[in-house]
Amino acid sequence: MEETIFHKILREEIPADVVFENDHVLAFRDIRPQAPTHVLVIPKFPLADFSELATAEPSIVSNFIQGVSLAAEHLGLNEGGYRTVFNTK
């Protein structure tokens, strides 16, 4: 897998404004937000992009989706709703 900025953020080589973290995901504020609350949630396991979730172990998929939901809950977004976008490459 190609080295990305996200790998460096996970290794704390690049600082990030972390808003939520657990064993499976790291959530941090985007440095160029496109919305009042713009948070990136990245997996802590090897995953090149969203399309790889289709062949991943079910526990990996559920841990990632749960991590996104927990990050939103931690930010108090559940009551008013929020939008989730998955990017590939």
Q: How would residue 14 be classed by pLDDT, with cut points 50, 70 and 90?
A: very high
Distance CA(43)–CA(24), nearest Å, equals 6
Residue 66 has pLDDT above 70, yes or no: yes
Q: CA 55, 61, 64: angle at the middle one, nearest 5?
A: 140
Distance CA(78)–CA(76), nearest Å, equals 6
Global pTM value: 0.89
Residue 68 has pLDDT above 80, yes or no: yes
pLDDT digits (tens, 9 = 90+) for 73-87: 999 999 999 999 988
